[in-house]
Chain A
Amino acid sequence: QSALTQPPSASGSPGQSVTISCTGTSSDVGNYDYVSWYQHHPGKAPKLMIYEVSKRPSGVPDRFSGSKSGNTASLTVSGLQAEDEAYYHCSSYAGSNNLIFGGGTKLTVL
């Protein structure tokens, strides 16, 4: 069982928006603004999409946004495109040099 809880799947039609949640505790997500999101197409290298809850690395489309409320972080993908179909993993710093992940969410573009 993963330390952070993500829904196993999410879906949306092209052009729609979808939000993926990542629930932790007051010791990790709720205590630090060190939440990151990674996109992973099977067989390829994971890609950093969001860091520090809501910041986008250079080159990541602004269709991807992150937020946090209490112990739950969220990734929203707006204007869904076919290439957004992938697995999305959240991570959070949990103190004492400990980095924890969720179980991953498979995003399907219908």
Chain B
Amino acid sequence: EVHLVESGGGLVKPGGSLRLSCVASGFTFTSYSMNWFRQAPGKGLEWVSLIDSRSTYLYYADSVKGRFTISRDNAKNSLYLQMNSLRAEDTAFYYCARDSIAWSRDYWGQGTLVTVSS
């Protein structure tokens, strides 16, 4: 059974940094591109970043470009999101999700909450 478990969320001051992790199990991690999404309070889902299976191609939403960095460690079945220069508007639940066909994402984690506040 596919499982994705995020961790690393918490309370951070504006301008601060945080590193999120997502541990995958139940599938061949090295065969899939992976994503980060987020959902701010009262808002819809927002795609944040994507990394291909070999870390060759990295893509970011304009809202986080230059501040967030996606990475993965295939030996550890793990996906990461390094978040720097955090802003209040980055406050959200962050989810990792596995890439699937036709621009869908077939498995998601339960999310980790990031709160940016002074």
Q: How many residues of A contact B (CB 8 A)?
A: 29
Contacts of B110 in A (CB 8 A): 43-45
B104 adjacent to A104 (CB under 8 Å): no
A45 adjacent to B105 (CB under 8 Å): no
Q: How many residues of B contact A (CB 8 A)?
A: 22
Question: Of A47, A97, A99, A103, which is within 8 A of B108 by CB?
Answer: A47
Contacts of A93 in B (CB 8 A): 103
The answer for the CA separation of A34 and B99 in the assembled complex, in Å, is 13
Question: Of A33, A45, A101, which is within 8 A of B111 by CB?
Answer: A45
Check if B45 is an interface residue, CB within 8 A of chain A.
yes
Q: Given A45-B4, A45-B109, A45-B111, do A38 and B101 touch, yes or no (CB 8 Å)?
A: no
Q: Given A45-B108, A46-B108, do A89 and B103 touch, yes or no (CB 8 Å)?
A: no
> Chain A's nearest CB lies how many Å from the CB of B31?
17
What are the interface flags for A1-13 relative to B under an 8 Å C-beta threshold, 1 for contact and 0 otherwise? 0101010000000
Contacts of A44 in B (CB 8 A): 110
A36 adjacent to B103 (CB under 8 Å): yes
Check if A74 is an interface residue, CB within 8 A of chain B.
no
Contacts of B103 in A (CB 8 A): 32, 34, 36, 91-93, 99
Q: Given A43-B110, A57-B106, A97-B59, do A48 and B100 touch, yes or no (CB 8 Å)?
A: yes
- Between B104, B106, B108, B111, the greatest number of chain A beta carbons within 10 A of the residue's beta carbon is seen for B104
> Chain A's nearest CB lies how many Å from the CB of B7?
14
Q: Given A89-B45, A101-B45, do A48 and B101 touch, yes or no (CB 8 Å)?
A: no
Docked complex: B91-118 residues within 8 A CB-CB of A: 95, 97, 100-111
Measured CB to CB, the residues of B under 8 A from A are: 4, 43-47, 50, 59, 95, 97, 100-111
Q: Closest 7 CB pairs between A and B? A: A51-B104, A103-B44, A36-B104, A52-B102, A93-B103, A34-B103, A2-B44
